[in-house]
Structure formats: C-alpha cells, structure tokens
Structure 1
Amino acid sequence: MFTGIVQGVARLPFLESKTNLTTLGLDLPASTREGLTVGGSVAINGVCLTVTHWDDEAVYFDAMIETLRTTNLGALKQGDEVNYERAARFSDEIGGHLMSGHVIDQVILTRREELDENNLRLEFTVPDQWMKYIFPKGYIGLNGCSLTIGEIVDNTFSVYLIPETRRATTFGEMPNGTAVNLEIDPQTQVIVETVERVLAQKKDESSDS
C-alpha cells in the first residue's frame, strides 16, 4: 500500500524495451534506497512495481504488457522524470489516503491556471466510464499523488496544488496534453458499485412482480 504522498521526482537513466516488457532504471536518492530489498514495492507515477535489482546507477523494475498499455509508463523515454513513493510501513503517517498502486486508466491535463504565486489549478479530462467515481472534495490518485477533487464539470475535474506539491512532483512544470495515471479511491468505488448493484436488484424485483 501507498499513502499518496509522493516522496520526490527521480530521473530514468536507463530504459530498455523488449517484447511486451520494459525494464526501467530509476535514479533513487541514497536515503530512499536505504533498507530497499529485491521484491520490495515502489510506486512509479502511481504504478506499483517490484524491485528486481540495483547497481550504482539505478534501481531496476520490470513493467509488463498490461501495465504499459494501461498507464503512462509505456510512453516514458530514457531521461524522463517520474514521481516515486516507497511502499508504506505500519509506522508511517498516512498524510494522504491509502492507495494500492493499481492504475485503472489515464486522464489528460487540459488546462493549467496560475491563480497566484501559491496556487495552481489543474483541470483534467476523464474517460466517461470513470466519472461516476469522482465527487467534489473526494480523493483521487494522479501519478501517485493523493489529491482532493475541486470542481466537476461534465467529464472534467480540477485539483489545486500548493507550492510543496509542485516542488515535490512532476506537476509543477507539466504541460497541457500530458497523460496522467488515474487511481480511484477504492472505498468510493466499492460504495458506488454496491449502490448500483442494489438498485439494479430492486429494479429487477419490481419488474418481476
């Protein structure tokens, strides 16, 4: 599990694409590597990946075909920068919201609005099937970052970033048109789907009577 509090931005000095598999080498700082083990989990742009090995240059992960298709990891190039967060431990403070690192789709950054020197508003366009899980003031996971939803209009939603979030993540200089990984709050998803199932069952029972 992850907290959605991105620990920093790291560069990809190594990227090797094979058939239906990409190996990513992430330049994690020494403090983040401390205690890291083969088989450990790190969220890269919100995607939970497993450490395979490391050397002096990078920590390495493999991304399979479904991960490459569903997330923006498939579009990464050597030298790109990504958000990272190591898996949460029982003693860690949960400052965001619990996240699984299982990205369901991508959304597109369609508008950047500098409100003032301390506030940045970002607006994203969402595939229609996911809008039922997105509510004002609800939680959302974007490239591994736990954020609170602002306004919702049609199939778009907005978030507001403080200076620290801009500094610690790739959102600070992200251009319009960028594809961003989306993770829905699992509790919201369960509630919505349970209500849908109950309503559908009642409708069936009513039509049978």
Structure 2
Amino acid sequence: MFTGIVQGTAELVAIEEQPNLRTHVIRMPSLAWGEGLTLGASVAHNGCCLTVTRVEGDLVSFDLMQETLRLTNLGLLQVGDKVNVERAARFGDEIGGHAMSGHIIGMAEVTSVIDTPNNRQVWYRLAPDLMKYVLTKGYIGIDGASLTIGEVGEQAFCVHLIPETMARTNLGWVKAGWQTNIELDPQTQAIVDTVERVLAARGEK
C-alpha cells in the first residue's frame, strides 16, 4: 500500500530489454532513500507498484512486464528521465494523502497547464468510461501523487498544485501532451458501479 505522498524523483539510468520483459534501473537520490531496501520490496514509480529485483549501492532494478508497459507511461520513458518514487507504507506511518494500491487503471493526457503565482492548474483528458469515477473534491492518483480533484468537465478534469508538490514531483515540469498514470479511488469506483447495477436492475423490472 502507498499513501500518494511522493518522496521525490529518481533518475532512470539504464534500460535492459529482454523478450517480453524490460528492466529499469534507477538511481536513488540518496542512500537514505534506499536504506533497508531488499529484494522483493515494493516501490511505486509514477504511481505504479514495482518489485525490487536488484540493489547495488544507490542503483535499484525493477522488472516490468508487457502489461505494465502497455497500461502505464513507464513504457514511454527513456534513460535520463525521472520518475516519482514512493516506498511502500509501513504500519504506523502517517497517511498524509489517501490509501493507494499502486495499480494503474490507465493514462490521462495533459491538455493544458495554467500557471499563476504560487499555483499551477493542470487539466487532463481521461477516457469517457473512466470519467464517471472522477468527482469534484474527490481523490485521484496522478503519477503516484495523491491529489484533490478541482473542476470536472465532460471528458476532462483539473487539479491545483502548490509549490511543494511542484518541487517534489514531476508535476513541476509537466507539459501539454504528456501521458500521466491514473489511479482512481476504489471506494468511489465501488459506489458508482453499485449504483449503476441497482438502477439497471430497476430498469429491467
């Protein structure tokens, strides 16, 4: 489980291609970030839960299967790019964001970025079948960052970013046209799907 409080960004320093598999090697910004990190541990990259497969000093490796590369923006990364990183939450940690699983539902395209003093508004276009789960003031995970939804349109929504979020995450240099990983709030999904089933059943009667 993750909290959506991104600890910072880590550079992708190597990509190893194998049949139906890709290995990403990232450099932890400091040894403290990797303290106690062992094989099999979970670390979120842009919100996607990955498993540690190798640790060599500040270099940590992760294997990505084809489904991960297809569903997330990790398949678009190149050496030198940076990813938002969060280590798995531990019992007793403060949950400053909201509970997140690290399971990406799909990607949203950045349509516009509006900068004003000490604030940034970013608009995203999401697939219509997923927009029904996006509600004003609800929670959403964007590249692993727990954010509150601002306005909601027919096929788009926006979030507002404070300077701390821009400094700590890749949202600080996001541009129109970028593809971002999305994790929806599972409670909202469950409620919407349940209501739809109930209304459908009543309609059949």
TM-score by length of 1: 0.95
Distance 1:58 1:79 in 2: 14
CA contact (8 A) 2:31 2:58 kept: no
Equivalences for 1:24-63 in 2 at 5 Å? 24-28=24-28, 29-63=30-64
The number of residue pairs the alignment matches comes to 204
User: What is the Cα-based RMSD across aligned positions, in Å?
Assistant: 0.9
CA distance, structure 2, for counterparts of residue 175 and residue 17 of structure 1: 28
Find the aligned partners of 1:19 and 1:72 in 2 and give their Cα distance. 19
SS of 1:133's equivalent in the other structure is: coil
Q: Does residue 1:76 correspond to 2:59, yes or no?
A: no
Unaligned segments of structure 2, at least 5 residues: none
Aligned-partner residue type, residue 16 of structure 1: E
Match of 2:101 in 1: 100
Which contiguous aligned blocks of 4+ residues in structure 1 show a shift greater than 4 angstroms?
none
Superposition pairs of residues 1-209 of structure 1, within 5 angstroms: 1-28=1-28, 29-116=30-117, 118-204=118-204, 206=205
Determine which structure has more spread, i.e. the larger CA radius of gyration: 1
Unaligned stretches of 5+ in structure 1? none
Distance 2:178 2:195 in 1: 33
Relative to its length, the structure with more helix (as a share) is 1
**TM-fit CA distance, 1:12:** 0.6
Query: What CA distance in whole angstroms lies between the structure 2 residues aligned with 1:177 and 1:8?
Result: 23
CA distance in 2, matches of 1:64, 1:7: 25
Q: TM-score, normalised by structure 2?
A: 0.97
Which amino acid counterpart does residue 83 of structure 1 have in structure 2? Answer: N
Same amino acid, percent of matched pairs: 52
- Counterpart AA for 1:95: G
CA contact (8 A) 2:45 2:86 kept: yes
CA displacement at 1:200 relative to structure 2: 1.4
How far off its partner does 1:174 sit? 1.4
Post-superposition offset of 1:57? 4.9
Q: 1:92 aligns to what SS in structure 2?
A: coil
Give the 3 Å change call, closer, same or farther, for CA 53–33 of structure 1 in structure 2: same
Give the secondary-structure state (helix, strand or coil) at the position aligned to 2:137. Answer: coil
The one-letter amino acid paired with 1:51 is: V
SS of the equivalent of 2:151 reads strand
DSSP-derived class of the 2:39 partner? coil
Contact kept, 8 Å, 2:109 with 2:125, in 1: the verdict is yes
Moved more, 1-10 or 188-197: 188-197
How much does 1:50 deviate? 0.3
CA deviations 1:120-155 (Å, max 9, x no partner) are 100001111101000000000000000000011110
Q: Partners of 1:156 and 1:115 in 2: how far apart?
A: 20
